[in-house]
Amino acid sequence: MSESCITLFGGSGFLGRAIVNQLAGQGLTVRIAVRHPERAARILAEHKPGLVQAVRGDVREAEAVAQALEGATAVVNAVGLYLEQGSATFEAVHIRGAQQVARQAARLGVPRLVHISGIGAAEDSPSHYVRARARGDAVVRGAFPDATILRPSVLFGPGDAFFNSLAGIARMVPVLPLFGAGQTRLQPVYVGDVAAAVAAAIEQPKAAGRAFDLGGPDIFSYRELLELTLRQIGRRRLLLPVPFPIWDLLAGCAALLPRPPLTRAQVVLMKADNVADPDSPGLAELGVSATAVETILPQILGASPSRQRA
């Protein structure tokens, strides 16, 4: 695939940057399609000149999507939206935008499409976000039947928004509130493993038309992940169970703020487990060995202090 040109929508995000590094590291030309190409200058500077390119590409605009796909041998849609703002809604991005990419890829004859979704995507979910993900999967499959759909769990890695957020809060406050009793189960997956899965899905014909649940090697409760974070940063904190009705109330109040620190969508997500379906193929079927949280956590949060601090 030395002559390959892979168009990547969402290449400037946390997962997108990892995918760029993976593909460019294999010597593949990557075309990052983003709404503001000038903001990708730092990403381009990290790679051999010409190997990574940036073009304008908003998944909501048919012409921009088509132009970004011209001459591509594969396309990856890694666009993710977690907070609706103005015209950027779950419907616009995860459904109509995903459909737009799939339709244009099919129309232009792009051989491979890898669509990034999320574990647990289901159209009967109480979460608007999760329902949109599921509908997005369906419209992608309808427009491009051979698309590979990858559904990762919570992503972790250096610079992530998960462990870094937990650690940031733990450093500032003496009490950490739990969602409910903190028993929601999560299966964090290393961002580098998901990027490797994307590369494998592009390369492997057997991945065409299939969906993969991507989870890490271990399942944790939310409480266990907080405890793991506290040990890593050398802090002792009280973990306080908070009933979900209170979280619902707090999210409702936060919704009045311009940039709410907590949303109803986040609360709904924490009411259900986020783990891979045991009957679904995963990283192993794509030839990727899952990386344990403990092996990467020091890179994310730094070396554990020699003694616990208050």
Which distant-in-sequence residues (6+ apart) come within 8 Å of 167 by Cβ?
229, 232, 233, 301
Q: Taking residues 12-20, what's their average pLDDT? A: 95
Q: Compute the distance between CA of residue 133 and CA of residue 90 in angstroms, rounded to an integer.
A: 8
pLDDT-based confidence at 2, cuts 50/70/90? very low
Question: Is 268 a member of any domain?
Answer: no
CB 22 within 8 A of CB 196: yes
Burial 137-157, CB ≥16 within 10 A → b, else e: bbbbbebbeebbbbbbbbbbb
Number of structural domains found in the chain: 1
Cβ neighbourhood burial of 293 (10 Å; 0-12, 13-18, 19+): buried
Question: Does residue 181 lie within any of the structural domains?
Answer: no
| CA max distance for the chain | 60
- What is the DSSP annotation of 198-259? HHHHHH-GGGTT-EEEE--S--EEHHHHHHHHHHHHTB--EEEEE-HHHHHHHHHHHTTSSS
Q: Which domain holds residue 37?
A: 5-155+188-215+276-289
**Which DSSP symbol is given to 40?**
G
Q: In this structure, is residue 15 part of a structural domain? A: yes
160 located within any domain: no
The DSSP letter of residue 284 is G
Q: What is the CATH number of the domain that holds 89?
A: 3.40.50.720
pTM over 0.85: yes
63-77, 79-93, 153-167, 232-246: which range is least confident on average?
Answer: 79-93
Mean pLDDT of 127-135: 92
Q: What is the pLDDT of residues 178-231, one digit of tens each?
A: 999 999 999 999 999 999 999 999 999 999 999 999 999 999 999 999 999 999
In a domain, 163, yes or no: no
Dist CA 183 CA 134 (whole Å)? 25
- Is 258 inside any structural domain? no
* Beta carbons of 237 and 175 less than 8 angstroms apart: yes
DSSP-assigned letter for residue 261? S
Q: What is the mean pLDDT of residues 61-85?
A: 93
Closest by alpha carbon to 225, among 270, 172, 281? 270
Mean pLDDT of the chain: 93
Residue 307 has what pLDDT?
47
- By the 8 A CB rule, do 6 and 78 touch? no
Host H or E run for residue 18: helix 14-25
241 within a domain of the structure (yes/no): no
User: Looking up tokens 């450093």, which residue turns up?
Assistant: 171
- Specify if 39 maps to a domain: yes
